[in-house]
Amino acid sequence: MSRSVLSQRVSRFGTTVFSEFSALAQKHGAVNLGQGFPDFDGPDAVKEAAQRAIREGVNQYAITTGARDLRVAIAEHAARFHGQTVDPDTMVTVTSGATEAILDVLLGLVDPGDEVVAFEPFYDSYDANITFVGATPRWVPLRPPDAAHAQWWFDWDELRAAIGPRTRLLILNTPHNPTGKVFTREELERIGALCAEHDVKVLSDEVYEHITFAPARHVRPATVPSLADRTVTVSSGGKSFSLTGWKVGWIIAPPALRDAIQRAHQFVTFATASPLQAAMAAALRLPEAYFTDLAAAYLARRERLMAGLREAGLKAYLPDGSYFILADIAGFGFADDVAFCRHLVSEVGVAAIPPSVFYSPEHRHLGQGLARFAFCKTDAVLDEASRRLRAKLTPRR
């Protein structure tokens, strides 16, 4: 019998749903609200800083922890926006996007056989990376707003039950993809108390840190006292500067945790593209107005797409952060979210993502009544999507 070329580690992970729906979007000429990247470009000053760095010879390997000027800029940014004190020399590692940072954190802090607790729907690399390090995920479902909850919420008993003697790490994502939940200070304080009780470390994925909508306010978990000593903050410049293709990310962690993670990073990518590191330092130092304008522009896009979805008869949940909207697809007569999204892309001409792929098999049904729409798109694209939805999406009770 011939042996599979696939390692057991990767055998569970086929082509992602993003590839499938991007191909379908292209085939049907659909407006693509599936992919979570902007269809507009990042700031000129930052692009020019990258060009300048290349011209001026910043083209060889950076130091593995990250170019010092970028580490200083990351520390300054953490103080400016989050009131967090960061030592650029002992607490920061620059990575190739948040994606690499997440793998480094798991490699550095989690052993085979350990358990990792995370909320679902989850960002898909969490599941894969937990598997890659031989750990077991314990998923806690977020539940949609209802009569008793104004926002997405979770059951504290379910969270408590998921944490056990083998739990090494809890993954938080705030603002959250795809629900748009922004964890409140009170939730973070209670999570901190639980993690302290069970000696659990926290990975806080904050790639949407600058995309929140008042009255919601992003609270950096590492600034909550009970979480400060146990939290690794992961972020990147992709979403904050509309430069997702650059893949410049970073971790901020107490020195002992950063040391563990750096040990992994040095053998995963060793270092991240030098000229882009120089430019990211310039990005993080942009004036206040840049960040205020970014959030204001996303607020306008959120309102635009929310109106379009509602006019098409979809019950859309208002996100407090990130650039995604989840909509309830009950009432449209489809067996599940995949069937709905296939119909949407081929018959309506709009691509969305079926969120059931962001759930464990146990809770997959929770995602089967939803569709995810991205609003990191220009007004013309959002308007065309809304027009098509209004014209062609009809309830099929």
Q: How far is the CB of 334 from ligand PLP (least distance, A)?
A: 26
Q: How far is the CB of 346 from ligand PLP (least distance, A)?
A: 25
Tell me whether residue 180 or residue 249 sits nearer to ligand PLP (CB atom): 249
CA distance 127 to 147: 31
Q: How far is the CB of 96 from ligand PLP (least distance, A)?
A: 8
**392 membership: H or E segment, kind and range:** helix 379-392
Eight-class DSSP state of 153: B
Tell me whether residue 247 or residue 265 sits nearer to ligand PLP (CB atom): 247
Q: How far is the CB of 95 from ligand PLP (least distance, A)?
A: 8
**Residues contacting ligand PLP: total by CB under 6 A:** 14
Is 271 in contact with 63 (CB distance < 8 Å)? yes
Is 231 in contact with 78 (CB distance < 8 Å)? no
**Tokens matching residue 32:** 């693509």
Q: Considering only 67-75, 93-101, 304-312, 340-348, which stretch makes contact with ligand PLP by CB under 6 A?
A: 93-101
Q: Considering only 72-80, 96-104, 362-370, 379-387, which stretch makes contact with ligand PLP by CB under 6 A?
A: 96-104
Binds ligand PLP (CB under 6 A): choice among 238, 349, 354, 367: 238
x/- mask, ligand PLP, residues 245-274, rule CB under 6 A, reads: --x-x-------------------------
Beta strands in the chain (DSSP E): 31-32, 92-95, 115-120, 136-141, 167-173, 201-205, 231-236, 249-252, 315-317, 324-328, 350-351, 370-374
Burial class (CB in 10 A: 0-12, 13-18, 19+), 76: middle
Tell me whether residue 36 or residue 66 sits nearer to ligand PLP (CB atom): 36
Tell me whether residue 97 or residue 108 sits nearer to ligand PLP (CB atom): 97
Q: Considering only 97-105, 223-231, 290-298, 325-333, which stretch makes contact with ligand PLP by CB under 6 A?
A: 97-105
Binds ligand PLP (CB under 6 A): choice among 24, 33, 75, 98: 98
Binds ligand PLP (CB under 6 A): choice among 21, 119, 123, 323: 123
CA distance 370 to 353: 9
x/- mask, ligand PLP, residues 138-177, rule CB under 6 A, reads: -----------------------------------x---x
Q: Is 99 in the site for ligand PLP (CB under 6 A)?
A: yes
Q: Which of 169, 37, 22 is nearest to 107 (CA)?
A: 169
Rounded (10°) angle between helices 44-55 and 274-284: 140
Q: Is 97 in the site for ligand PLP (CB under 6 A)?
A: yes
Q: Which of 184, 123, 125 is nearest to 154 (CA)?
A: 184
Q: How far is the CB of 173 from ligand PLP (least distance, A)?
A: 5
355 Cβ partners below 8 Å, 6+ apart?
A: 121, 178, 326, 337, 367, 370, 371, 372
List residues near ligand PLP by CB under 6 A.
36, 97-99, 123, 173, 177, 205, 207, 236, 238, 244, 247, 249
